[in-house]
């Protein structure tokens, strides 16, 4: 969080923008779904 605050204060880009975390969650949800159903999950 400190990096986020510094980026806001300095007007610089975030190290890890929120969209990257959202992509990761989407992939992890696909992994769980595949494990639960035994099927291939297209992301």
Task: Tell me if the pTM is above 0.75.
Answer: no
Sorted by where each begins, the domain ranges of the chain are 17-43
What pLDDT score was predicted for residue 17? Answer: 83
42 contacts 29 by C-beta, under 8 angstroms: no
Closest CA to 33 of 43, 21, 24: 43
What is the residue-level pLDDT of the chain in tens, covering all 43 positions?
788 899 999 999 888 888 988 999 999 999 999 999 999 999 9
What pLDDT score was predicted for residue 42? Answer: 95
What pLDDT score was predicted for residue 41? Answer: 96
Q: Using CA atoms, how far apart are residues 21 and 19, in angstroms rounded to an integer?
A: 5
């Amino acid at each position: 969080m400190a990096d986020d605050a510094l980026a806001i204060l300095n007007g610089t880009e975030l190290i890890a923008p929120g969209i990257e975390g959202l992509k990761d969650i989407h992939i992890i949800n696909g992994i769980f779904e595949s494990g639960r159903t035994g099927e291939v999950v297209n992301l």
